[in-house]
Amino acid sequence: MICKICNKKITGRKDKLFCSVKCKNYYHVNLRKATAVVVKELDNILHRNRSILLEIMGKRKIQCRVSRMVLEKKHFVFKYHTHQHTNNKGKIYYYVYDFAWMEFSNDEILIIKKT
């Protein structure tokens, strides 16, 4: 076997992927860094999406309907959500943390605050 990091021949156990602790640590540190960059970008989008929903809803309402255009103008990113749920009528609720939204009609979005 050849080390994934430095290409040295690996000695010892057959299932080893790295020649040394140093190479192993290097690999995992960089793996974490690469993940952190992408996760941070996605977190930022999700946080902004939540802020947009909160801004539209205000603090008192539990649900409201809004034109899709309003969300688009605020650069809401529809494709990112934290999880989703399909109800018994086949409607898909997209969650952004404690908020959910669904396509009420072609141009209307229903926003719901989950408490």
Work out how close the CB of 30 gets to Zn ion at its nearest, in angstroms, rounded to a whole number.
13
Work out how close the CB of 35 gets to Zn ion at its nearest, in angstroms, rounded to a whole number.
21
C-beta of 18 vs 93, nearer to Zn ion: 18
Q: Which residues are at the interface with Zn ion (CB under 5 A)? A: 3, 5-6, 8, 19, 23
CA 27 centroid distance within chain: 24
C-beta of 5 vs 57, nearer to Zn ion: 5
Work out how close the CB of 2 gets to Zn ion at its nearest, in angstroms, rounded to a whole number.
9
Could you give the CA distance from residue 8 to residue 54 in angstroms, rounded to a whole number? 54
Could you give the CA distance from residue 8 to residue 57 in angstroms, rounded to a whole number? 59
Contact 25, 12 (CB under 8 A): no
C-beta of 10 vs 77, nearer to Zn ion: 10
In DSSP terms, which residues pair with 67 in a beta bridge?
108
Work out how close the CB of 46 gets to Zn ion at its nearest, in angstroms, rounded to a whole number.
37
In DSSP terms, which residues pair with 63 in a beta bridge?
112
C-beta of 20 vs 82, nearer to Zn ion: 20
CA 84 centroid distance within chain: 12
